[in-house]
Chains A and B, each alone.
Chain A
């Protein structure tokens, strides 16, 4: 089990969740992906679509940076 990081704070729709999905595809079961993203559309979409596809969203937390959140997803 390994932890991977992905930063999509500079990306826009659809690449925020496209990059997340591509990264999740590469992971082994049990691996964890930490996605750094902005509030608004990415924050609503990424955790929701991950849950819908059967991934386990472990946490959604705000970071010290204004408007930046960290979503932790387990495959």
Chain B
């Protein structure tokens, strides 16, 4: 068998629509046999928090305030026309209505397909987050050099 193809995605955005792109590409690639690595950093870390809603996750006062404002996967905003959080609800409704997998279903599929989730050490430090704040599927906490090594020889996307 030829060497396995590889796709590595840097999930920087914590927006509903961009995370949908991350998980659509990731699951699609994993389903056709790619090794898929997703490196979550900054706002992207919201997607892998254990707490799906708004919650004071994080160590210290400011990270806790951030945690409440940012929330988890269930409270991510859309990148345009968010209308104070109404748009993600409309999108979820439209996706279900049109039989397009909503974000949560894509994340579930990503777990089942064995996609590798990694968290950015530096962003976690800034936001006062620890590995235990994330879902257990998060394989490791990495820095830039480890990610570069991991993504070597494959395609890399920044979303």
Contacts and interface: CB of A to CB of B under 8 A. Distances in A.
Interface of A: 10-15, 17-22, 25, 45, 49, 52-54
Candidate in A10, A19, A20, A54 with the most chain B CB atoms within 10 angstroms: A19
Contacts of B81: none
A52 B101 CA distance: 24
B109 A53 contact: no
Contacts of B101: 11-12, 14-15, 18
A12 B112 contact: no
A14 B28 contact: yes
**Which among A10, A14, A53 has the greatest number of chain B C-beta atoms within 10 A?**
A14
B1 interface: yes
30 contacts: A10-B99, A11-B99, A11-B101, A12-B101, A13-B24, A14-B24, A14-B25, A14-B27, A14-B28, A15-B100, A15-B109, A17-B32, A18-B27, A18-B31, A18-B109, A20-B31, A21-B30, A21-B31, A21-B32, A22-B109, A22-B113, A25-B112, A25-B113, A45-B32, A49-B32, A52-B32, A52-B33, A53-B32, A53-B33, A54-B1
B100 A12 contact: yes
Contacts of B99: 10-12
Contacts of B28: 13-14, 17-18
Interface in B10-31: 24-25, 27-28, 30-31
Dominant SS among interface residues on chain A: helix
Contacts of A19: 109
A15 B30 CA distance: 11
Interface string B75-108: 0000000000000000000000011110001000
A53 B31 CA distance: 9
A13 to B, nearest CB: 7
Interface string B30-46: 11110000000000000
Contacts of B100: 12, 15
Nearest to B28: A14
